[in-house]
Structure 1
Amino acid sequence: MMGNKKLRILLIIEQCNPEWTSVPLQGYYFYISIRNLFNTTLVTHERNKPALEKVHSDRDIVYIYESNFTKWYYKHAESLSKIKGKIIWPLYNTLTYPIYAEFNHLVYKKFKTSVLKRDYDIVHVVTPMMPRYPAKIIKACKNIPFIIGPVNGGVPYPKGFQEIARKEFAGFNFLRLIGRWLIPGYRETYEEADYILAGSTYTLNLIKSLFDVRDEHIELFYENGINDAFFSKDPKVDTEESIQINLLFVGRLVPYKGADILIDSIGQLRPQIQENISLIIVGNGSEKESLQQQVQNLDLKEKIHFPGWVNQQEILEYYHKSDIFCFPSVREFGGAVVIEAMANGLPCIVVDNGGIGEYVTEETGFKINPISREFVVQELRKRIEQLVEDRALHAAMSYEAVERAKEFTWDSKAEKISDIYLKLLSNSSE
């Protein structure tokens, strides 16, 4: 693996926590994978300190402490962002921006002089991962490369799914536009960055359309990675005697994730197929009760089960025991669960809108065009039946899924980042 422990990397990862999920956990894995190759200084928020101190008390980590008012405001921001008990994420991200702004300013204040003195060779801002936040430290990166990302987001709802968009309060997305023009330093961050990592093709094109960014300063770099623990130790063996086919869905039970679409498709399977399948829906969320009622109405209680949210060891067991992964989320930025499923040899059936449509290839599963809800239901039904009946196709996709997942290991991602760092340093020296 390439790398250079003599190179000093200033890693700014506001959300970096080994005990949390989603972006904070991804931020943490980026940190430890990059630290394995380079001499790093991690800059993160104080709320991550208890978890990081448990595992890395000896490391070079600088914690940014917030004001008492910001601590108070952070506790109340979530409740201020709720309508009928549900978090409106565009509103939440807008209301919590002042919390990030304080962190951003304090990082600049603390590290401005050392960056100007070239105490570091590269400055890399990893989180937040949404492409709507500035990084003030770029003002000090006069003589050293500045890299931001992977950033991902902004994927719109498909035209045929406006009802779901309304349920998810997509009308608040106009707040993104306000932020783009009113947040100080936002445009400067992206137009003056030496390199930008974009987490999806959509976001890459969005950034290029919003800012004056040349092709040589941006590349596609998926934010999700995977640990070796997710790779199945035993290859799936498909025999004619194995009649039962286990389907799996993993995700929050909210409208846009599409669990209701999957349930409808199960209800429309041919009787001889439906008889030999079962579906596990892992997760919790606002739609759980309505989904359970949907299952009851379709008389599928014996076929579809809801274990709720489970820990990592339990989810690994569900991956190991399953045969096909179904994830018809109509708007997904990343979708790490798809990579986890592929690592366990599961052919994946997904909706082609956002990151998951780029993870899945023709060799590893099926991508469904989100024309309409009914179209997705019918295509999902067809693809499930195809994989159940065509054992050779299932076996081939299972093998290719594991090979595809290997491209997303954290070691593999660290190697790619190492190449980018070394290229940037070579270009700057020239």
Structure 2
Amino acid sequence: MTDQPTTDDQTPAPRRRVLVIAEAANPEWVSVPLVGWSIATALRAHHDVHIVTQIRNREAFLRAGLIEGTDFTAIDSEAVARPIWKLAEVLRMGKGKGWTMVTALSSKLAYPYFERKLWQAFGPRIAAGEFDIVHRVTPLTPTANSLIASRCAKAGVPFVMGPLNGGVPWPKGFDAERRREREWLSYVRGAYRLSPARSRMIRAASAIIAGSRHTASEFPQARDRLTLIPENGIDPARFSRRAAQPGTLPLRCAFLGRLVPYKGPDMLIEAAEPFLRDGTMLLDILGDGPLMPALREMIDAKGLTHAVTLHGWIDHKEVQSLLSQSQLLTFPSVREFGGGVVLEAMALGVVPMIADYAGPGELVTPGTGIKVPMGSRAEVIAGFRTALSRLIAAPQTIPALAAAALRRVEDDFTWDRKARQIGAVYEWVLDPKGPIPQPVPLAGE
């Protein structure tokens, strides 16, 4: 595992002049904008970074203490971005649904306009050699082509992309959930690979950072320039509490996430029903979404109100205070790209129990959590019930799992560690001796 980028004589690598493109980057939001912000700002501790972001993030950057013009530039692409977002809201057919539609419209229409304006502002500076590397951090989606990758290559400036993630196939047996999520475009998503613009971008990129094995598989023509670094990370200051982990019953579990079909909170309640009923397990459900009314009815109908608490929406800053009261994160999501919530639990010393698929399945290694085999809906429910039963029979095994989960996060998944891992890629790009670094061991490696 690569820790600190070094030169051949083992001295610390020099600070590089990096133009970081983070169209979505915001410390006050969650999901992709928080990832974009966290990676871009972590890189600033190791390199001379100028961040280019979209105008909607400007005020948050200023509130965070960054200096406009020196630390960052905000590109006003609202002339295209705003109407595209409004169109996506109409076409997605439901609040919080149809994310593939939103991503497609944003990456194919709004983002290219953002890049055109970016090149107008920075193209001459890139061509003049003002930056050692241009690194596109967001969009995270691998479907977003870059118009400036070839221009950077022509100027002799390395262009790095990633971490890229997304497009994990829906597992078999969950087509009903797919339809309920209004993911119609997911049926034809693979067509983006036929784009000539994508081929040009891949040829021009000096390095591609994939956030998952699935995304890595979408770049077979760039294997010599491809590395895996999951996009999610942890801020130790934000996740500083530690779960008590008494190794006793009742087993206190938590679900954290949007209450939508593919994340499976209803499957979790069904799997845990016998233990919730007999008092050997308590469950906190943290989050809100369209399934909230149905979950409330389900809990009432099964007579589980004494054992299940629906907390509703929780501010991200308050997540650790509630999650750290649990022994387990019980998270049966069947289509999770990155699995940031899994890392958040591990950082608190909370053991993840996950469906072994996509992002979470790669983050949880043997001894750091419990992986339930992916299968049909009935099989996932049965798998979680079996796993919970085993832990309830031997709760004293949980503290060791929690300690190992915490060590894994501290070793590989803090934002500072991620910046160092990316720095190793920078050094390889600028002096490509040997194969590209592969800094993060994923499950199965």
TM-score normalized by structure 1? 0.92
Matched, 1:418 2:430: no
Matched, 1:56 2:61: no
Q: Is the 8 A contact 1:265 1:378 kept in 2?
A: yes
Letter in 2 for 1:33: A
Letter in 1 for 2:42: S
- 1: CA distance between counterparts of 2:88 and 2:284? 31
SS in 2 for 1:29: helix
Give a deviation string over 1:230-260, Cα, whole Å, max 9, x none.
5454563425xx4332110000000000101
Give aligned-pair identity as a percent. 32
Gaps of 5+ in 2: 6-11, 434-445
- 2: CA distance between counterparts of 1:357 and 1:233? 24
Distance 1:163 1:233, change over 3 A: closer
- 1: CA distance between counterparts of 2:172 and 2:58? 43
Q: 1:195 aligns with which of 207, 224, 236?
A: 207
Q: Is the 8 A contact 2:97 2:183 kept in 1?
A: no
Distance 1:346 1:286, change over 3 A: same
Q: Is the 8 A contact 1:90 1:175 kept in 2?
A: no
Alignment of 1:11-410 (within 5 A): 11-58=20-67, 59-66=70-77, 68=79, 70=80, 72-74=82-84, 76-85=86-95, 87-96=97-106, 97-142=108-153, 143-182=156-195, 185-208=197-220, 212-213=221-222, 215-234=223-242, 236-238=244-246, 242-269=248-275, 274-406=278-410, 407-410=412-415
Letter in 2 for 1:109: Q
- 1: CA distance between counterparts of 2:314 and 2:419? 29
- 2: CA distance between counterparts of 1:314 and 1:164? 29
- 2: CA distance between counterparts of 1:384 and 1:29? 34
Letter in 1 for 2:51: L
Q: Is the 8 A contact 1:33 1:411 kept in 2?
A: yes
Give a deviation string over 1:162-207, Cα, whole Å, max 9, x none.
221222233321453344435x622211232111000011111122
Deviation at residue 312 of structure 1 after TM alignment: 3.0
SS in 1 for 2:24: coil
SS in 1 for 2:162: strand
Gaps of 5+ in 1: none
Deviation at residue 67 of structure 1 after TM alignment: 5.3
Give a deviation string over 1:377-428, Cα, whole Å, max 9, x none.
1110111122222133212111111111112001111111111111211139
- 1: CA distance between counterparts of 2:339 and 2:276? 29
Give a deviation string over 1:259-282, Cα, whole Å, max 9, x none.
0110101114496xx413210111
**Which is worse superposed, 88-97 or 190-199?**
88-97
SS in 1 for 2:285: strand
SS in 2 for 1:357: helix
SS in 2 for 1:44: strand
RCO higher in 1 or 2 (8 Å CA, sep ≥ 6)?
A: 2
Deviation at residue 114 of structure 1 after TM alignment: 1.9
Letter in 2 for 1:243: L
Deviation at residue 4 of structure 1 after TM alignment: 5.4
Deviation at residue 148 of structure 1 after TM alignment: 0.2
Give a deviation string over 1:264-306, Cα, whole Å, max 9, x none.
01114496xx413210111011111111111122211111111
- 2: CA distance between counterparts of 1:75 and 1:221? 29
Distance 1:65 1:392, change over 3 A: same
Q: Is the 8 A contact 1:224 1:336 kept in 2?
A: yes
Deviation at residue 37 of structure 1 after TM alignment: 0.6
Letter in 1 for 2:224: E
SS in 1 for 2:367: coil
Paired positions, count? 418
Letter in 1 for 2:232: N
SS in 2 for 1:243: coil
Deviation at residue 75 of structure 1 after TM alignment: 5.1
- 2: CA distance between counterparts of 1:392 and 1:225? 29
Q: Is the 8 A contact 1:345 1:401 kept in 2?
A: yes
Q: Is the 8 A contact 1:108 1:136 kept in 2?
A: no
Q: CA RMSD in A?
A: 2.0
- 2: CA distance between counterparts of 1:249 and 1:125? 33
Deviation at residue 105 of structure 1 after TM alignment: 1.4
Give a deviation string over 1:26-83, Cα, whole Å, max 9, x none.
1011111101111111111111101101123424211111253x25414523432232
